[in-house]
Structure 1
Amino acid sequence: MARILIVDDSPTEIHALRKMLEKHGHSVTTAGSGEAGIAAAKEQVPDLILMDVVMPGLNGFQATRQLARAQETAHVPVVVVSTKDQATDRVWAMRQGARDYLTKPVAEKNLLDTIGKYLAA
C-alpha cells in the first residue's frame, strides 16, 4: 500500500493514527516536529503526509508551506490533522499547500476515505 509520514508531537496521536493505517496495510514513518517532518519528507519522499498544526518550533502550517514549495516534496499531498477546527484554520491550511483538513479525533473511515482520494490519484 502507501508510505505515509505522520508529523505530530503527540505520541498518543501517532499511536492512534499508526494503528489505523497499518491495519489497512500502509507503511508508516513518524516525525515529532515540523523540522523533523520536513527532513523526513525530503529523505523518504512518502506517498502522503499527515500533518499536525500545533507543535513546538515550526508549526504544521509553516512545515506544510515549506513542503509545498520544495521541489522534491511539492507533489506529496499533505493532509492536516488538527484539533483546530475553525473555518479560518482550514482556509489557512489550504493556502499553505495542504490538500485536505481533518479534525481530531479522526474517525478511521474518515481518515481512510480522505487519504484514499489522494493515493488513488
Structure 2
Amino acid sequence: MSSVLVVDDSPMLREMISGLLTKTGWTVSVAQDGFEAKAKIAAELPDLVVLDVVMPNMNGYELCRWIKNNEATENILVVLCSSKGEEFDRYWGIKQGADAYVIKPFRPGELLDTVKALLAGKAA
C-alpha cells in the first residue's frame, strides 16, 4: 500500500485531500507547513507528497527542491497543488522537480487520477 503526505496550511484542504486519498486505500499523513513536512519525511519516507505552493515559513517550491535535491528523498514523487494557475507557475513547479502540477480548485477525480498515474508508474 502506498503512503502519501499531504502538506497544506489550510486545515480544510488538508482534511479534504487526505479524506479523498484515504478512501482510495492509501496510507495518508498530513503536515501544515514545510518544516513539519521535512520532519515527517525524515522520519518515514512517503511514496508521494501532495504539496501546496503558498505556505508560511517554507513554500512548496522550497520543499520540493529539498526533496528532489536530497539523495535520501529524491525518488519521492511530488504533486504541487496550487491556486497559482498561470503557465509560468506550472513551468516553475516542474522546474523545481515536481512530477505533476494540479491547479486549485481542482476536481477530486483530477487529483486522484494524477496520484494514481504517478504511483502506478513508480510501481512499474
Q: Which TM-score applies when normalising by structure 1?
A: 0.95
SS of the residue 2:75 aligns to: coil
SS of the residue 2:76 aligns to: coil
Residue of structure 1 equivalent to 2:7:
7
SS of the residue 1:80 aligns to: strand
SS of the residue 1:120 aligns to: helix
Once the 2 structures are TM-superposed, how far is the Cα of residue 41 of structure 1 from its aligned partner?
A: 1.4
Q: Distance in 1 between matches of 2:106 and 2:25?
A: 18
Once the 2 structures are TM-superposed, how far is the Cα of residue 115 of structure 1 from its aligned partner?
A: 0.7
Displacement over 2 Å in runs of 4+: none
Once the 2 structures are TM-superposed, how far is the Cα of residue 106 of structure 1 from its aligned partner?
A: 2.2
Residue of structure 1 equivalent to 2:104:
104
Q: How big is the alpha-carbon RMSD for the aligned residues of Structure 1 and Structure 2? A: 0.9
The number of residue pairs the alignment matches comes to 121
- Are 1:115 and 2:115 an aligned pair? yes
Residue of structure 1 equivalent to 2:85:
85
SS of the residue 2:57 aligns to: coil
Task: Return 5+ residue gaps in structure 2 as ranges.
Answer: none
Q: Matched residues, percent identical?
A: 37
The answer to which of 100-109 and 65-74 deviates more is 100-109
Once the 2 structures are TM-superposed, how far is the Cα of residue 31 of structure 1 from its aligned partner?
A: 0.8
Map 1:1-121; keep pairs closer than 5 Å.
1-121=1-121
Task: Return 5+ residue gaps in structure 1 as ranges.
Answer: none
Once the 2 structures are TM-superposed, how far is the Cα of residue 105 of structure 1 from its aligned partner?
A: 2.1
**Match for 2:27: what amino acid?**
S
**Match for 2:100: what amino acid?**
D
Per-residue CA distance 1:74-121 (angstroms, 9 max, x = gap): 000100011110111111111111000001122121111101111112
Q: Which TM-score applies when normalising by structure 2?
A: 0.93
